[in-house]
Amino acid sequence: MKTAIFGGTFDPIHNGHLRIASAAVTRWGLERVLFVPAGKPPHKLGATAADYEHRFRMVELACMGNPEFEASRLEAGAEYSYSIETIGKVRASLAAGETLYFLIGADAFAEIRSWKRWRDIVDSVEFLVVSRPGHRYETPPGARIQSMEDMNLRYSSSGIRRDLASSEGTADVPAAVMAYIRANKLYGGSADK
Ligand code: ATP
Ligand code: MG
- In this prediction, residues 90-98 reach a mean pLDDT of 94
Residue 163 forms part of a structural domain: no
Residue 191 forms part of a structural domain: no
* pLDDT range class, residue 190, cuts 50, 70, 90: low
Residue 185 forms part of a structural domain: no
- Kindly give the distance from the C-alpha atom of residue 87 to the centroid of ligand 1, in angstroms, as a whole number: 19
pTM of the full structure: 0.95
Residue 104 forms part of a structural domain: yes
User: Which ligand is the nearest neighbour of the Cα of 156?
Assistant: 1
Residue 10 forms part of a structural domain: yes
Q: Identify the CATH number of the domain in which residue 12 sits.
A: 3.40.50.620
SS3 83: helix
Contact between 44 and 184 (Cβ < 8 Å): no
18-73 pLDDT, tens per residue?
A: 999 999 999 999 999 999 999 876 666 567 789 999 999 999 999 999 999 999 99
pLDDT at 41: 65
- Kindly give the distance from the C-alpha atom of residue 105 to the centroid of ligand 1, in angstroms, as a whole number: 6
Secondary structure tally for the chain: helices H, strands E: 7, 6
Pocket of ligand 1 (CB under 6 A): 8-11, 16-17, 20, 104-105, 107-108, 130, 132, 151, 153, 155-158
- Kindly give the distance from the C-alpha atom of residue 108 to the centroid of ligand 2, in angstroms, as a whole number: 7
* Domain coverage including residue 18: 3-154
Residue 111 forms part of a structural domain: yes
1-14: burial string, b at 16+ Cβ within 10 Å, e else: ebbbbbbbbbbbbb
Residue by residue, DSSP assigns 108-150 as HHTTGGGSTTHHHHHHH-EEEEE-BTTB---PPTT--EEEE--
Q: How many structural domains compose the chain?
A: 1
* pLDDT range class, residue 77, cuts 50, 70, 90: confident
Amino acid at 6: F
CA distance 48 to 73: 17
